Amino acid sequence: MSTFVRQLSRFIDQYKEANAPLDADGARSLYGVVEHEWHALWDLVDDPPLSVSDLPAFMDAKNLKTVGLDDRQMLLEKVLVFMSRTKDCEISKQIQDQVIDLLYKDLPHPPSGYLCSPPPPLSPSSSNCSSGANYAFRTADGSNNNPLLPTLGKAGSPYARSVPSKTMPPRSSLPDAGLVFDTLLKREHFREHPGGISALFFAFADLVIHCIFNTDRRNPAINNASSYLDLSVLYGSSESQVNSVRRNDGTGKLLDDVFADSRLLLMPPASCALLILFCRNHNFIAQRILDINENSNLHNPVPEDPAERQKQDDEIFHRSRLVNCGYFMQVILGDYVGAILGLVRDESDWRLDPLMTIRRQGHEFVPTGEGNVVSIEFNLLYRWHATLSEPDTKWVEDVFGGLFDGEGTTPEKATPKQFMEAAHKHLIPPKDVRQWTFGGLKRVNGRFRDDDLANIIQNATETRAGAFGARGIPEVMKVIETMAIEQSRSWGTCSLNEFRKFLGLKPYSSFKEWNPNEEIHTAAAALYKDIENLELHVGLQAEETKLPGPGAGLCPGYTISRAILADAVSLTRGDRFMTVDFTRMPPLVFFALQEFTDIYFSAHNLTTWGYQDCQYDTQDGSYGGLLTKLLFRTLPDYYPRGSSYAHFPFLQTSWMKKHLSEAKPELCKKYTWDRPSPLPRVTRVDTFKEVQELLADHKTYISAYDSRLWNCIKPALLHDLQRTPEARNTLLSAVEELSTAIFKKSDNNVAELFSKITTDLIMEKSLSFTKDNTFTVDVVKDVINLVPVYWVSHVAGLPLKSKVNPHGLWQGPDIYTRFAEVSQYIYLNFDAADDWKMRELSQASMHEFVRYAEMHMERSFEYDACDQDMLEELWKNYSNSGGVSSTREFTALLISALVPTAALYSQVLAHVVNFYLDEERASAREDIAKLTAVSEGHSHNDKVMDYVYEALCFDPPVIGVFRTAARDTILGDSHPSVCTADTMSLRQPQAPLNYVNALSQGFLTPEFMKATIPQILGTIFNMQSSKRAPGQAGILQRFTTESDGMPRLQYISQAGVVCTLSDSLTVKFSQ
């Protein structure tokens, strides 16, 4: 976008915000919307999503209901690319509605044909409604997904037949299955996947496929899996299988590192490794649901009464399964489908959303949650053995070779009967799932070692998968493929052309049209004679494949490419638990109603936190998807922040690096491309003496704060400053000096200003709902969080919208959100999954702050006397001493000194206020109010600060911090030795007289805290009859978890998201 257009769009944004009302009435800020929209429009003009060459594809759409679409014209791909490129436009949503409606209607709901008679409907007594649970949950066998058709899609039901066969010749006229394999399917040499897809993608595909297909060995018409993406490979498809993996101990957890479906043991090890991660994810979810206890009906420790304990276990298990299945679904839609469509490769975070609510033009809904039954046609479609990588092929050869040792045959020559006998003899696992192993791994204390799982998954990420297409299936799979061909014939499956007609595609008129490769189409013609005789399975596997390009990432045959999108939409949109029952209750409604009734429990099956947890974040550096978060969560020591192995697991690392370095070299530099090494071990330190020693030695024990601060502020500096080798150390040293100059001076005027800001905010934000002069105010959200915002804006000239400056650009809560993002990135950066987003948001915010502060200084904005004198003195000292060379550099230092600790300062205040709002501390609260009411200077501040430090010792806002050892050392008298690069986890000692301020900088400088905190506390506690508001609103919504052996305090925001800073606490008072 040109400089002029950018500046004009910014001016329009600023004009609109400057003239917006002071009170936003809860509306979200729209600052920057015009610039964003114009930037998107400029991109479309500069690189149009459609061109003249696309016209033939759109003109071919008229053939949909006649001869069928010519899929070689790539109409669907062009439409998908258009939607992704115009994602912010209303037309994109309207087209997406039509596309999803079309794809959903590709398959009948419910199916009209089955391989045999389906089971009768369940009796009412069989419904899970009779369990007494007031929340919806999945049954073990998938029944009751559609309450009106309870047996639809349940495990043990027959396969559906989507396409009746009317043209296939008798089996006696079809070629020998082994000959077909040798002629059309057998791999001659390995061909790499042309789109860079990694072997891990197809390891995950194994999980998806085996979730919905499990053909009964005795009756091939029956599917022993449900027709839903319910993670049955993990949980099982029957009550006995589900019970085999559960602990049933009141926590709702599964046994460590187990899964229920033994078929996965016959898949390459990466499939099992991924499934173990989903097992761990279930246990993480169960623990989090128990910790948060959103409905206040769970007990920890668990109940001693067996019946109550089992009831609690059932609820946590079922809710956790819903969340984990939702997580699985989002990996499918975000990561899996994103790779299929090439969206991750093309750095697009747009995703097709088959779950969205849609109304047709006649105002009727496009159905959701109708249920689903998988069909034999799609059973054959997902035979993707051609994509086996070279290492996975070698693994299969070793496993199959072991089956026939001493049997007088080889896998390539074995008959189906010999294979089944050998498999039954050698591949039956132990009944106890805790004894199952894979890939030669050993269990240690019942669990697999993290480094073993990470090694398998990272190997699969580094390895390119095989390409789809004719003559691509390894010879070792011959017996499997011949069995599939024979099975297809016994089912009476339709021909390839019949399937294409069913999908609305133009049938092939010749073998050459089906596959232009002369060797392939000539051989197929010799085997099948007539193109109408070409079998579905063989036709799908040997069809001409797509080339990688916009909208095409998987590059299978054309028919497979069209069909899998219809199946993905049907499987997700048709599942009640992924649509109409994929619910949560708005937290504020829950907090208000919780204490009156438990009827509302049914309104949020996943819990508020669970619903939020399985939503993918388009700003996490992975362009949509949840697999990145799963890897960071379950293998934290083997996936460091910014690792391409975590961000792009479904694309071969070396391929993606080459592609991204050519497409966006600056973006490529933000990722690390080397194979991750295990992170250093964490040593916990929690004695007062050792904590003091560690915090005092900055050279031996290094914090990450400085490097993160540099990451934040670097984009805001002039390019010449960024490139200076010593720029980082110079800037950080200057920030420290400037911070000392600002915060270590005890200025009475600053204290009075903080008191005035607090008073004004309380008066402005208080509300009264009664006639007895009783008021309420959210003392955290509307007062404590905004106090440093008002002061920093006052000092640095940020465009805060307030009564003093009604034409400002930013609302106070919006600025606080930005301050909090910076604080969390620099100081509270515990979760690797959030690191990318926090860094990018922090950089953008700091750049904006510096830009406005520089504009403010250059206009010589008139400050109030105290701050004007302070800034003039600072600017004069730094410019005269040669410390800074420009206003840009000075304002970068100023913002770096002011912003990072502002939200931590608010957090300290929130904890202190919360601590003394307890009724048992009413006398201490009154004492603080009396001490601060004394008008004789601030001589009582020391006594007030004693109260503050006592509160912080018993309820610290930051329980611990981390340091990294720069050299081998021994800490203290009895502590174990610490090696280079080991990380120290410092826990705050729990003793009032031993308070240690691990973050004594910026707003948390002791002198500044002493000068300002007593005034704020006095203003709050001097409100008449101040006490907590009734119900949940008067309580900090928080819980404690454990991370790296150290307690970690976390909060539930008003949006239901887990965060590291509190955002609400309502106080009631009188006037």
Q: Would you say 496 and 423 are in contact if contact means Cβ atoms under 8 Å apart?
A: no
Which tokens sit at 20? 């917006």
Which residues make Cβ contacts (< 8 Å) with residue 268, sequence separation at least 6? Answer: 199, 203, 206, 388, 392, 395, 396, 460
Q: Residue 548 and residue 567: Cα distance in Å, rounded?
A: 21
- Give bridge partners of residue 1040 from the DSSP assignment: 1049
Tokens standing for residue 387: 């994509």
Q: Rounded to an integer, what distance in angstroms lies between the CA atom of residue 201 and that of residue 441?
A: 22
**What 3 state SS string does 131-143 have?**
HCCCCCCCCCCCC
Partner residues linked to 642 by β-bridges: none
Q: Helix-strand-coil percent breakdown of the chain, rounded to 5? A: 50, 10, 40
What's the token pair of residue 393? 């092929």
The closest alpha carbon to 784, from 956, 911, 932, 952, belongs to 911
* DSSP annotation of 158: E
385 is in an annotated binding site: yes
Burial 48-73 (b: 16+ CB within 10 A, else e): ebbeeebeebeebeeeeeeebbebeb
- Orientation of helix 902-916 relative to helix 787-796, angle to 10°: 150
Eight-state DSSP code of residue 246 = B
In the chain, where are the structural domains located?
A: 1-47, 135-158+195-385+577-679, 682-1070
Residues paired with 768 in a beta bridge: none
- H helices of 859-886, in order, are 865-880
Residue 369 near residue 579, CB atoms below 8 Å: yes
Look at residue 989 in the predicted model and tell me its pLDDT.
46
Query: What Å distances lie between residue 292 and 67, 614, 630, 893, 1052, CA to CA?
Result: 58, 16, 20, 40, 8
Residues 616, 424: Cα–Cα separation, whole Å: 41
Are 964 and 983 spatial neighbours (Cβ–Cβ below 8 Å)? yes
Pick the closest to residue 678 from 443, 434, 438, 450 (CA basis): 450
- Answer for the pair 315, 133: CB distance below 8 angstroms, yes or no: yes
Q: How far apart are CA 100 and CA 565, in angstroms?
A: 9
Alpha carbon distance 103, 512 (integer Å)? 28
The alpha carbon of 708 is separated from its chain's Cα centroid by a whole number of angstroms, namely 22
Burial readout 705-728 (b: 16 or more C-beta within 10 A, e: otherwise)? bbebbbbbbbebbeeebeeeeebb
Residue 1033 contacts residue 1066 (beta carbons within 8 Å): yes
User: Reduced to 3 states, what is the DSSP secondary structure of residue 321?
Assistant: helix
pLDDT value of position 592: 41
> How many residues are listed for the chain in this entry?
1071
Between CA 650 and CA 809 the distance in angstroms is: 42
| Separation between Cα atoms, residue 716 and residue 889, nearest integer Å | 9
926: helix, coil or strand?
Answer: helix
Residue 447 main-chain phi, psi, to 5 deg: -115, 155
Do 1044 and 832 touch, CB atoms closer than 8 A?
no
> Is residue 133 a contact partner of residue 314, using CB atoms and an 8 Å limit?
yes
What pLDDT shows up at residue 874?
73
Output the CA–CA distances (angstroms, integers) from residue 305 to 174, 243, 254, 311, 637, in the order listed. Answer: 65, 20, 20, 10, 39
What is the distance between the alpha carbons of residues 847 and 822, in angstroms, rounded to a whole number?
12
Interhelix angle 450-462/653-663, rounded to 10 degrees, is: 60
Burial class for 197, CB neighbours closer than 10 Å (0-12, 13-18, 19+): buried
How many helices and strands, by DSSP H and E, does the chain display? 42, 16
CA 661 from centroid of its chain's CA atoms: 25
Averaged pLDDT, groups of 10, the chain, 1071 residues long: 73 78 73 74 80 90 89 94 90 93 92 86 52 79 92 95 89 93 96 98 98 95 96 97 97 98 96 98 97 91 95 96 95 95 93 90 88 96 97 94 78 87 84 96 96 98 98 96 96 96 96 97 96 97 96 96 95 92 59 37 71 90 92 96 97 97 94 92 79 80 88 82 72 87 79 92 87 88 96 91 88 94 94 94 95 83 51 71 73 93 96 94 91 70 91 85 81 59 52 54 91 93 88 89 81 87 92 74
For 472, which DSSP code?
A: -
Q: Residue 628: CB partners within 8 Å, gap ≥ 6? A: 335, 620, 621, 622, 646, 647, 649, 833
In the numeric block, which tokens belong to residue 4? 């002029």
Return d(Cα 422, Cα 414) in angstroms, integer: 10
Residue 506 · residue 500 · CB < 8 Å: yes
* C-beta of residue 223 within 8 angstroms of C-beta of residue 155: yes
Q: Is 981 left (phi over 0), alpha (psi -120 to 50) or beta?
A: left
Architecture of domain 682-1070: Orthogonal Bundle (1.10)
In this structure, the strands spanning 682-685 and 983-987 are parallel
Amino acid (1-letter code) at residue 500: R
Angle at 1048 between CA 1046 and CA 1051, to 5 degrees: 175
| The two structure tokens encoding residue 1020 | 């709050």
Any alpha helices (H) in 918-996, and if so which ranges? 922-933, 941-954
Q: In a 3-state reduction of DSSP, which class is residue 647?
A: helix
How many angstroms separate the Cα of 103 from the Cα of each of 560, 570, 576? 14, 8, 18
Which amino acid is it at 743?
Answer: F
Longest dimension (CA), the chain: 107
- Direct distance between the N- and C-terminal alpha carbons of the chain, in angstroms, rounded to an integer: 55
Alpha carbon 988 to chain centroid, angstroms: 31
Burial class (CB in 10 A: 0-12, 13-18, 19+), 218: exposed
- Judged by DSSP in three states, 1052 sits in strand
- H-helix or E-strand containing 423? helix 416-426
Q: DSSP secondary-structure letter at 1002?
A: G
